[in-house]
A = this chain, B = another copy of it.
Amino acid sequence: MKNNNALKSAENGGSPSDEAHLDRVFHALSDPTRRAIVQRLSGSSGTVSALAEPFDMSLNAVSKHLKVLEGARLIKRDIVGRTSVCSLNIDPLVNAHEWIQQYTQFWNEVLDSLEMHLDADAAEPGAAAKKDERP
């Protein structure tokens, strides 16, 4: 198993009534503005007005988006003076990631083993694990 750091943190802080939480996380990610905010916050944290600046909508609209992200626990806020600084929390992303991986992983294994059998140069066993070493 890899990525166990994130997995661990997801187990700890990331499962409050699991299904409903996944609802909120996927819903939060279903909007392009909110995905852009996540993207932006993956670089560095920022205040509400800084986050709102690139978007062609009112500050209030962005504030609402931030509340949706906060509801999904994708961001946390630190109140600094009169500004509130938002930063990314990847735990719910890991939850979503894991949910999706249940299904992609199985099929990737099927396809990988299929390709292992179809590949002409797959003579030595165990080649499927080092496929990307081929330039």
Residues of chain A touching chain B, judged by Cβ–Cβ distance below 8 Å, are: 1-6, 19-20, 22-24, 26-27, 29-32, 35, 38-39, 42, 88, 90, 93-94, 96-97, 99-104, 106-108, 111-112, 114-115, 129, 131-132
Contacts and interface: CB of A to CB of B under 8 A. Distances in A.
A1 to B, nearest CB: 5
Contact of A131 (B4, B35, B93, B129): B4
A20 to B, nearest CB: 8
Number of copies: 2
Contacts of A29: 22, 26, 96, 99-100
28 contacts: A1-B132, A2-B129, A3-B108, A3-B112, A4-B131, A5-B111, A5-B112, A5-B115, A6-B104, A6-B108, A19-B32, A20-B32, A22-B35, A24-B30, A27-B27, A29-B96, A29-B100, A30-B30, A38-B103, A42-B103, A90-B103, A90-B104, A90-B107, A93-B100, A93-B103, A93-B104, A94-B104, A96-B100
